[in-house]
């Protein structure tokens, strides 16, 4: 007998919800059934656009349905907790758009609820599903770089004044911060996935151009890793035109550079078969880039991650990026912000 399709529902109808809807439509084993919206006209319009049959005004109505197995939370970051908890307590698996929430303490509530209910939570960090990122991760895990020395992430992007006219963007309560938390979070996650969580950070933040927002439009941080390696993070939405996100992982025996999901440097003291192929591979734009405009990403990364969750449910295993993995980037960003506010180094567990 064929495996039944998993029914999905979305909470929210904003731009990123459209990416989830398209990704689900392209995922074998998944079927998009419902959307939750507090605004009936927006809900109906979104449903018509994405061939959705059920529209409800509350999460509770949606998760009461037996044909819904997975709920995607695509609300503003600081509004992830309540719908996630409602879905989890109803026994539904959950996909939560980045970041999981605005603080480690709020993420911990999601983790505790999921543990108690025995459901799976997938934290959206689609950058890890890129072929370039996975190639870099494999080389680091194989020890090809030797002892890591400098590990850094640079997210120098452009956002317009109009972008920040959306009331929740750039606020502490609903965005969890500014450029570092919203735009750079994917680079932050990749950095800690490659090099591990730092033990100590020192951050500085400012509003250089977007002076009307509460949080940062520019943040820098220095990092100290458990093994003694050092690094930096630079994040901004205040510059033009916006450059590709860049990760540099440099070690005693080799160094690599990843721009968006394209490997632009692949340098090792000892070469191995396949190195020339990696160096000569054309730039990979499968995941797109949000460097200049928010809608510059593709649905590919989301589709790969939702496919992983469908397979995780089928195989009864954790998703590749579960809530505990998703917490790490939130904890790192939170520590940098706390350091910037206090003027003192911030420490992570």
The per-residue pLDDT for 338 is 98
Q: Where in the chain is the domain with CATH 3.30.360.10?
A: 127-294+329-347
Partnered with residue 11 across adjacent β-strands are 36, 73
The per-residue pLDDT for 2 is 62
Q: Sheet holding 30-36: strands in order across?
A: 54-56, 30-36, 6-11, 70-73, 93-96, 121-123
d(CA 88, CA 85): 5
The per-residue pLDDT for 169 is 97
* CATH superfamily assigned to domain 127-294+329-347: Dihydrodipicolinate Reductase; domain 2 (3.30.360.10)
Tell me whether residue 214 is exposed, middle or buried, using C-beta atoms within 10 angstroms of its C-beta: 0 to 12, 13 to 18, 19 or more: middle
The per-residue pLDDT for 221 is 98
In sequence order, the 6+-apart residues with CB closer than 8 A to the CB of 28 are: 307, 310
d(CA 224, CA 200): 5
Residues 346 and 202 sit within 8 Å (Cβ to Cβ): yes
- Tell me the whole-structure pTM to 2 decimals: 0.97
d(CA 114, CA 93): 8
The per-residue pLDDT for 136 is 98
pLDDT tens-place values along the chain, 349 residues long: 567 899 999 999 999 999 999 999 999 999 999 999 999 999 999 999 999 999 999 999 999 999 999 999 999 999 999 999 999 999 999 999 999 999 999 999 999 999 999 999 999 999 999 999 999 999 999 999 999 999 999 999 999 999 999 999 999 999 999 999 999 999 999 999 999 999 999 999 999 999 999 999 999 999 999 999 999 999 999 999 999 999 999 999 999 999 999 999 999 999 999 999 999 988 888 899 999 998 899 999 999 999 999 999 999 999 999 999 999 999 999 999 999 999 999 999 7
Q: Where in the chain is the domain with CATH 3.40.50.720?
A: 6-119
Return the SS3 of 74. Answer: coil
* CATH superfamily assigned to domain 6-119: NAD(P)-binding Rossmann-like Domain (3.40.50.720)
**Count of CA atoms in the C-beta half-sphere (13 A) of 237:** 27
């Amino acid at each position: 007998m064929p495996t039944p399709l998993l029914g999905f529902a979305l909470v929210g109808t904003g731009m990123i919800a459209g990416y989830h809807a398209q990704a689900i439509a392209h995922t074998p084993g998944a079927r998009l059934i419902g959307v939750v919206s507090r605004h009936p006209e927006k809900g109906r319009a979104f449903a018509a656009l994405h061939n959705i049959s059920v529209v409800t005004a509350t999460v509770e109505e949606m998760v009461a349905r037996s044909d819904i197995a997975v709920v995607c939370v695509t609300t503003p970051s600081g509004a992830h907790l309540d719908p996630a908890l409602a879905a989890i307590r109803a026994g539904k698996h959950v996909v939560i758009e980045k970041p999981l929430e605005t603080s480690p303490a709020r993420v911990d509530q999601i983790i505790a609820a999921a543990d108690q209910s025995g459901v799976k939570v997938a934290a959206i960090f689609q950058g890890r599903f890129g072929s370039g990122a996975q190639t870099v991760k494999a080389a680091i895990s194989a020890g090809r770089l030797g002892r890591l020395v400098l590990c850094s992430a640079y997210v120098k992007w452009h956002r317009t004044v109009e972008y920040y006219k959306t009331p929740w963007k750039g606020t502490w309560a609903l965005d969890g911060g500014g450029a570092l938390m919203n735009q750079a979070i994917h680079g932050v996650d990749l950095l800690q996935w490659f090099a591990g969580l730092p033990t100590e950070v020192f951050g500085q933040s400012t509003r250089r151009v977007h002076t009307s927002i509460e949080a940062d439009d520019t943040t820098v941080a220095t990092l100290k890793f458990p093994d003694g390696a050092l690094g930096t993070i630079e994040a901004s939405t205040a510059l033009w035109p916006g450059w590709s996100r860049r990760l540099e992982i440099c070690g005693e025996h080799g160094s690599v550079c990843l721009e968006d999901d394209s490997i632009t440097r692949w340098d090792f003291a000892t070469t191995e078969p396949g190195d020339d192929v990696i160096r000569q591979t054309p730039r990979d734009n499968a995941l797109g880039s949000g460097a200049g405009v928010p809608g510059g990403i593709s649905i590919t990364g989301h589709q790969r991650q939702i496919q992983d969750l469908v397979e995780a449910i089928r195989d009864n295993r954790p998703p590749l990026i579960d809530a505990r993995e998703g917490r790490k980037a939130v904890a790192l960003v939170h520590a940098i912000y706390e350091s910037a506010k206090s003027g003192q180094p911030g420490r992570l567990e």
